[in-house]
Amino acid sequence: MSDHRKIVIRRKIVPPLPEVPKTTRKRHGFKKADIMRAMDAAKAAGLDVGMVELAPDGTIRLAAQSRMATSSPDDMFAKWEAKL
């Protein structure tokens, strides 16, 4: 008599990995020339550009230097200390 043995192979069932979206860069909606054109227009209007903000939708915002906070931490402490 031959001895027949069943070979049982147990395989680990693993759920499929979730699909990962491609990590490609999206094109921004502005070019360097657009930023320079906006800065030149602001300078022509007499504004000193203090900050440029670029939004993902292509919006370019310029802030004038006069609107930028120029107080140092020492000035802020002196003002607070004067109130005491």
Q: If DSSP codes are grouped into helix, strand and coil, which group holds residue 51?
A: strand
Q: 62 near 38, Cβ under 8 Å?
A: yes
Instruction: List, for residues 25-79, the tens digit of each pLDDT value.
Output: 667 677 899 999 999 999 999 888 888 998 888 889 998 887 555 566 677 788 8
Q: 15 near 39, Cβ under 8 Å?
A: no
Q: 48 near 64, Cβ under 8 Å?
A: yes
pLDDT at 31: 87
Q: Which two tokens stand for residue 16?
A: 């499929």
pLDDT at 67: 57
State the pTM of this model: 0.49
pLDDT at 10: 65
Q: If DSSP codes are grouped into helix, strand and coil, which group holds residue 62?
A: strand
